[in-house]
Amino acid sequence: VKQSTKADRDLKIQVKRKDSAKLKAAVKSAKLSKSIKRKLSYKTTKTTVTLVVKGVRTSDEHARKHWVSRVRGGLERRNVKVVYALV
């Protein structure tokens, strides 16, 4: 039996590489819980930086609504244009 991936459960917010410090500042100012901080990572490519939070996109959208809105609000305040978002 082959195990399937659960990549569709990952929350992803991608910005241009020049805005990576602003993305990290927005995440820090959102004051996320410890359980979410443990699942959080950043993937960097040549042109972009992606915030990845593993396994948080479940059927219960209301569970993540509050902290996702705090991160998005922080990005808007810092005038960061999001390239791609899977929220």
pLDDT for position 59:
83
pLDDT at 86: 93
62: its two tokens: 């209301």
Asked whether 71 and 13 are in contact (CB, 8 A), the reply is yes
Question: What's the count of helices (H) and strands (E) in the chain, helices before strands?
Answer: 3, 4
Which ranges constitute the DSSP H helices of the chain?
A: 20-29, 34-39, 62-77
pTM (predicted TM-score): 0.89
Give the pLDDT of residue 83: 97
The residue ranking higher by pLDDT, 43 or 62, is: 43
